[in-house]
Amino acid sequence: MSRADDALPPPTGAPRLLDHLIELRARLLRGAVGVIVVFVALMPFAADIYTLLAHPLLKTLPGSGHLIATDPAGGFFVPMKLAFMTALFATAPWLLYQAWAFVAPGLYRQEKRVAMPLLVSAVGLFYLGCAFAYFVVLPAAFGFLAKFTPEVVAQTPDIGKYLDFVLVIFLAFGASFELPVALVILVLLGWVTPAQLREWRGYAVVGIFVVAAVITPPDVVSQLMLAIPMCLLYEAGILASRLVARR
């Protein structure tokens, strides 16, 4: 080997990739440990959490209404599933922080200043959408459906199907409330402008009502309760995108 070869710096691509993989593994492990710790802490309260989740439905059931478990082991596994989903829900900020800590070193200062408010807003809006679904949408939807249920029909919902139904509603409303963040990101990427968002307002309203009709239960109340907030959030997204575009 010549002296010229000795003077060449060693390749650094592989070690850097290995460092990134080690860092990624560490972040994933920290996130998983956080979820497991919260899940273990919630396990003794799984039945109480399910009772709290079923409260909007229990209020609308006639007489001594109650839920049933068609699966012999459903009385155990369904609350445990809810406890795990609650742990994911509660540790979402911790999981996003781990993702942010992994990505942030590769961002410019200006990108960090923009990404952090968007990340915090996305988490807050998702929680707000889930809270809106629990406190407003579910009681109104169950009350509306109970009025049209014949008296000869015994309402005894299955605990597993009810949990799946509520989780879908939470995911639908939580994701729908991310609309302002999505609009701001589109403006930051240069794909649309605030002026175009204002021009497309009519099409957006039609699309919102179509989406609400698809992802909500087949009743008018829940569809309106998703479509109206989304229309307001669309307007909020236009205002936020205008502020971002000016800066």
The model's pLDDT over 67-126, given as tens digits with 9 standing for 90+, comes to 777 777 778 898 999 999 999 999 999 988 888 888 887 777 877 787 888 888 889 999
Asked if the structure places residue 112 within a domain, the reply is yes
Asked if the structure places residue 197 within a domain, the reply is no
Please say whether the beta carbons of 232 and 175 come within 8 A. Answer: no
What are 158-177's pLDDT values in tens digits?
A: 888 889 989 988 998 999 89
What are 34-53's pLDDT values in tens digits?
A: 999 999 999 999 999 999 99
Asked if the structure places residue 20 within a domain, the reply is yes
For the chain, the domain total comes to 1
Residue 3 has pLDDT above 70, yes or no: no
Asked if the structure places residue 130 within a domain, the reply is yes
Between the alpha carbon of residue 241 and those of residues 10, 127, 169, 200, the distances in Å are 46, 22, 28, 14
Nearest-angstrom CA–CA distance, 1 and 149: 87
Between the alpha carbon of residue 217 and those of residues 57, 59, 165, 214, 224, the distances in Å are 14, 19, 9, 8, 11
Residue in 141, 245, 131 with CA at minimum distance from that of residue 183: 245
Over the chain, what is the mean pLDDT?
83
Residue 143 has pLDDT above 90, yes or no: no
**Which residues span the domain enclosing 33?**
3-177
What are 123-137's pLDDT values in tens digits?
A: 999 999 999 999 988
What are 169-203's pLDDT values in tens digits?
A: 899 899 989 999 999 888 888 888 888 889 988 89
Residue 80: both structure tokens together: 């445990």
Asked if the structure places residue 106 within a domain, the reply is yes
pLDDT computed for residue 112 by the predictor:
78
Asked if the structure places residue 229 within a domain, the reply is no
216-224 own/partner pairs: CB under 8 Å, 24+ apart: 216/169, 216/172, 217/141, 217/145, 217/165, 217/169, 219/141, 219/144, 219/145, 220/144, 221/137, 221/140, 221/141, 221/144, 222/137, 222/140, 222/141, 222/144, 222/169
Asked if the structure places residue 143 within a domain, the reply is yes
46-55 own/partner pairs: CB under 8 Å, 24+ apart: 46/79, 46/80, 46/82, 46/83, 47/79, 49/79, 49/82, 49/83, 49/86, 50/78, 50/79, 50/82, 50/159, 50/163, 53/82, 53/163, 53/166, 54/159, 54/162
Asked if the structure places residue 116 within a domain, the reply is yes
Q: Say which residue the tokens 């794909």 belong to.
A: 191
Residue 22 has pLDDT above 70, yes or no: yes
Between the alpha carbon of residue 165 and those of residues 53, 54, 83, 162, 223, the distances in Å are 11, 11, 16, 5, 15
